Amino acid sequence: MPAIQVLIVDDSVVVRRLLCEALASAPDIKVAGTASNGAIALARIPQLNPDIITLDIEMPGLNGIQTLVEIRKLYPRLPVIMCSTLTERGAATTLEALAAGASDYVTKPSNSSSLANAMDQLRQDLVTKITCLARCRSTISEPLPAISLFKRTASADHTIDILAIGTSTGGPNALGEVIPHLPQDLPVPVVVVQHMPPLFTRMLADRLNSRSRLAVQEAEPGKLLEPGQVWIARGDYHMTVARKGLKTVLELNQDPPENYCRPAVDVLFRSVAQTYGPNVLGIVMTGMGSDGARGAAYIREAGGEIFVQDEASSVVWGMPGAVVNSQCANKVCPLPEISQEIVRRVVVGRTQTSLGAMTARV
């Protein structure tokens, strides 16, 4: 199989060298070329025909966002990984880039961290993401309507009391398609794990909150779970839920990562299954790896339900695909239909269950 061809775009000579060194140890990846600014990058794409691009955000002339917009006009399916910084401005601009069509991002080593450790982390993140995105690009399929995989779906005879969502690569845009389309009177709380570092999760919550009818916030320990709220797990903290008398509250911890992730979807899903039993609807959307598959099994074993995003609308079908392969998905949905399916199950299902109970009493 031919090596994955990568074009590195960054105005810093040092960063270009670091990225080249980070990729040199991967036998199936080759740096096809580099560019010091956006204009040069746009000129080199047809010459080099890269499989993937790494793109700096802060550059003179055409900056990363402007370059990305031009790339998307000319090459709508070419994967682009943004190189970001762990700063408030970097987080905000990264979310803007993801909204503009970036496939994923990596964070550059910070001055405060050990260079060797930071390089190891960058190498691991970058190689994994390049390999996965290049593989996904070659297996694009056509979208299909929502498919029920089991008889026990929206006709279940119990209400949903909490909505739990897990996602990773491509997740900010997927959440942007789902959360803003949920109604203001949604009768359940929503808890979300999106694989992101600290600061990025707060910026994501703020961005979603500005676009949604529901109140979206970054998770805080001890906060009561109430209908109409959306809580995004804080970067570098697992998020769980726990009963406190008649109330349910959020809890955060820094237990070891699971599936190399903190926050991890599996941790949240186990927690909601233990706390809410069968009254859980779990959603697994686009993401690399298999985080959420074991947690989905906990929800199903407790009597809850799992909907997953379909392959055609996912940036990466790793996480939802793992749930389907483990036979834990009740329904597979294209991204544009997920919010409708949530409302149908949570709101309409709740009404039908209440009417059924009233009829039974009569």
**How far apart are the C-alpha atoms of 48 and 191, rounded to whole Å?**
43
291 catalytic residue (yes or no) = yes
Q: Which helix (H) or strand (E) holds 252?
A: strand 247-253
131 CB-near residues (< 8 Å, 6+ apart)? 4, 26, 28, 29
Catalytic annotation, pick one of 36, 195, 271, 310: 195
**How far apart are the C-alpha atoms of 52 and 153, rounded to whole Å?**
39
DSSP state of 181: G
65 CB-near residues (< 8 Å, 6+ apart)? 57, 93, 96, 97, 100
**How far apart are the C-alpha atoms of 282 and 287, rounded to whole Å?**
15
**How far apart are the C-alpha atoms of 134 and 51, rounded to whole Å?**
6
One-character DSSP codes across 23-83: HHT-TTEEEEEEESSHHHHHHHHHHH--SEEEEESS-SSS-HHHHHHHHHHH-TTS-EEEE
Mapped onto helix, strand or coil, the DSSP state of residue 124 is helix
195 catalytic residue (yes or no) = yes
326 catalytic residue (yes or no) = no
Catalytic annotation, pick one of 84, 103, 168, 212: 168
Q: Bridge-partner residues for 215, per DSSP?
A: 229
**How far apart are the C-alpha atoms of 146 and 334, rounded to whole Å?**
6
DSSP state of 289: S
Catalytic annotation, pick one of 291, 310, 313, 314: 291
* Positions marked catalytic: 168, 195, 291
